[in-house]
Structure 1
Amino acid sequence: MRHHFVFFTLISVLFSLSQTSPSSAHFFPNISSIPPWIQKNINQTAGAWDAFNKYAGCRAGDKVDGLARVKKYFQNFGYITESPLNFTDAFDDMLESAIKTYQKNFNLEPTGQLDNKTIQQILRPRCGNPDIVNGTTTMNSGHPESHNTSLFHSVAHYSFFPGRPRWPSNRRTLSYAFLPDNQLTDNVKAVFGRAFSRWSTVTQLNFTQSESYRTADIRIAFASGDHGDGEPFDGVLGTLAHAFSPPSGFFHLDNDENWVIEGVTNPLTTMSAVDLESVAVHEIGHLLGLGHSSVEESIMFPTISSGTRKVELASDDIEGIQTLYGSNPNFNGTTSPSVQQRDTSGAYSSGSLWGMSLLLAVGFVHIILL
């Protein structure tokens, strides 16, 4: 999200979501529960960025009709800071620089060209939060783990939002609630409960479900298109969700996705199905103060391939969150909840989109709503 939002924008978020009609989100218990005719339709659905395939091979000096859309993509995720009224279709120095930074963040060869590997990474569904905030990226900076006293020092790639915002030390139990108009079932709500538990397992934080959306610390809502926060959703795939940094607590998911609530186990047959818990675990990381990581195995990696599942915190996630909140003395080395989950590999895509300029305003709104 951009960083020019103020008090009235936050009020707009609350008002816009309060006008939301009952949820039309597509929830499926599992892959086998999706009727064959629906599977066929969602497998043939074009993702929000599929048209970018035609730009494969573009390089500096080229001019291709529609290339301005690629520039807009990189602007949305922080790689281009300029805000011209109209981007041109020229492959200029600005786009080349953005691509090189993107490639470094995603562990690709920094060619500055839209080669096939870069295009395939761009096409993946992702978190709506930017990878670069206020012109600075720490996603792939790398820093030694401070507690590592062995001769071999591993490098961590977790990141934080500017100013390292976090929930205050006197708030170690946080409440969360769901937008009433979404009318979510208990099974859907339970997915979020499992996602929260993965973070509480490794920290001293606890999470409790509240029935009061207005007064909860964390507010979860499904919405479509423009929903009042300046970051509209884009339909099937594309951006899946976004979340705000502490202490705002807003967490929005795209109503138009095909959400699977009991786990994706067959990534080859239903390419447009999205595992809800995988997305929820990632976005909660943002709600707690983590930015994106360049470690592909980590929860905080920005993208996740559709039809895949990734819910286990990686060591990079754990090191990052414990830097903010300390370690749970009862942590036994695994973040799996009591219900056994079957995971499949996959990459993922959110932190606060609003940055430090929002912190005081968000806190003020939260106080008013209390």
Structure 2
Amino acid sequence: MMISYLFEFLLVLLLIIANTTLSAYIPQFSPSFGKQIMKENAWKNKLDSQLSSTEIQNLSQIKKFLSDFGYLKQDVEWFDNVLDNETISAIKTYQQNFNLKVTGNITIEVLKHMSFPRCGVPDLNLDNGFDTPNVAWPKGNKWFPKGKKNLSYGFLPGSEISLEMMIVLKNALTRWSKATKVISFTETKYDDADIKFGFYYFGNRTEDVIVGYTFIISQQNSKRKSGEICFDGSESWVLPNDDHIWSWQIDFETVAMHQIGHLLGLDHSFDEESVMYPTILPSQPIKVELTLSDNQNIQQLYTQFNPTSGYVRCFSFFGSSYGLSSSLLLGFVFAFLFN
């Protein structure tokens, strides 16, 4: 597997940064890793040697990632380190979806992409993933009664949602309301709301990259359902009035637009310009305006689509989030190669 000298240089540079300014984000690293990485391309040689074998150290973590996001259908309590045909197929599908070079191997490019912040809703196999019978991933707008045009929303008490964040959420709802041309939203108490917003602290290792997710809850002894939108309470969120987005921060409005889109019936899109793209790319840390395809998809669910109206092109913020993606990438690479 050929990797450019430029990328090797950048990886070494990122390591130096990680051992200084980014050390707080990668507590599991030690100075010995730096010597191992920089000595005679040890990291590259070990990756190459492992890919020539059917069993790869720490492949189980990658399998868990692929399973959590719908690429592997294995219903098991733990994953082994064997690179079997099912895993190769899952890697290829992931590479195809995200426009990466399709090899079926766990390349640096794949590890880098897996390290980017992303939505917790699976990309595929939405029928899997919940053991609780009254909880499900969003699958279209069938969760609320047919013909219902007004959805209520509320904020989780004690979730410390600031007034500025509430305004962002209300503006996001308004933007989607205009796009559907049918659905409107009204604020109410949290317990009575159709859509519930809240901040939570996510638990497992895969969720290190998750910044928000959405699911549907069916209330017990009742036909009523509610849509739950959960934001990561540990993130350093950026609001529209902030002057700059730092490398370790996540734009709140971008995540809000994406999650509301799920509740209105949209699946993930693999168009990098779409607000429904699963991953926050370093080149597009802020993405809140609907593309032509976003408008078309939502209006096909609710109204007759008119291609001459309602089109607002996406934009990219000039800041960079490479610091965040770099720290996560290094975490993946080190855990994968040297644990």
Normalised by the length of structure 1, the TM-score is 0.63
Instruction: Output the aligned Cα RMSD.
Output: 3.6
In structure 1, give the amino acid aligned to 2:296: E
Would you say the 8 A contact 2:292–2:311 is kept in 1? no
Bigger Rg, which one? 2
How far, CA to CA, are the matches of 2:95 and 2:60 in structure 1? 19
2:265 aligned to 289, 299, 313, which one? 289
Letter in 1 for 2:277: F
Aligned pair partner of 2:286 in 309, 314, 318: 309
8 A Cα contact 1:180 1:213, kept in partner = yes
Q: How does 1:36-47 map to 2 (within 5 A)?
A: 44-46=24-26
Contact 1:251 1:283 in 2 (8 A): yes
- Find the aligned partners of 2:95 and 2:254 in 1 and give their Cα distance: 24
Q: Provide closer, same or farther for how the CA distance between residues 56 and 208 of structure 1 changes in structure 2, counting only shifts above 3 A.
A: farther
Write out per-residue CA displacement over residues 311-352 of structure 1, whole angstroms, 9 at most, x where no aligned residue: 1111221111111111599x952569xxxx9851799xxxxx
Q: 1:77 to 1:56 in 2, by over 3 A?
A: farther
Q: Which residue of 2 aligns with 1:199?
A: 176
Amino acid at match of 2:270: S
Greater helix content: 2
Query: 5 Å matches for 1:209-248?
Result: 209-210=187-188, 212-226=189-203, 238-244=209-215, 247-248=225-226
Aligned 8 A contact 1:265 1:343 in 2:
no
For 2:230 and 2:27, locate their aligned partners in 1 and report how far apart those are by CA, in whole Å.
Answer: 19
1:273 aligns with 2:273: no
Q: Pick from 72, 76, 82 the counterpart of residue 74 of structure 2.
A: 82
SS in 2 for 1:83: coil
Match of 1:102 among 89, 94, 101: 94
Task: Could you tell me which runs of 5 or more consecutive residues in structure 1 were left unpaired when the two chains were aligned.
Answer: 1-39, 137-159, 227-231, 348-370
User: 1: distance between equivalents of 2:52 and 2:96?
Assistant: 18
* SS state at 1:241 partner: strand
Q: Provide the TM-score with structure 2 as the length reference.
A: 0.68
Task: State the number of aligned residues.
Answer: 268
Moved more, 80-89 or 70-79: 80-89
1:65 shift after superposition: 2.1
Q: Which has the higher contact order (CA 8 A, sep 6+)?
A: 1
CA distance in 1 between counterparts of 2:107 and 2:305 reads 44
Answering whether residue 225 of structure 2 is matched by residue 254 of structure 1, we say no
CA 1:97/1:205 → structure 2, altered by over 3 Å: closer, same or farther? same
Cα deviation, 1:172-228, whole Å, max 9, x if unaligned, reads 111111101113221110010111122111111111222x100011001101135xx
**1:295-325 deviations in Å (ceiling 9; x for gaps):** 0110001000368211111122111111111
User: Where does residue 133 of structure 2 map in the other structure?
Assistant: none
Q: What does 1:184-195 align with in structure 2 at a 5 Å threshold? A: 184-195=161-172
Which AA in structure 2 matches 1:207?
F
Q: Map of 1:154-169 to 2, 5 A cutoff?
A: 165=142, 167-169=144-146
Aligned partners of 1:265 and 1:342 also within 8 Å: no
Q: How far apart are 1:46 and its partner, in Å?
A: 3.7
2:166 counterpart letter in structure 1: K
Q: 2:112 aligns with which of 116, 120, 125?
A: 120
- CA distance in structure 2 between the partners assigned to 1:194 and 1:300 by the alignment: 17
**Which residue of 2 is the match for residue 183 of structure 1?**
160
C-alpha deviation, 1:241, in angstroms: 0.6
Change (3 A) 1:274 1:233: farther
Equivalent-residue separation in structure 2 for 1:188 and 1:164 (angstroms): 25
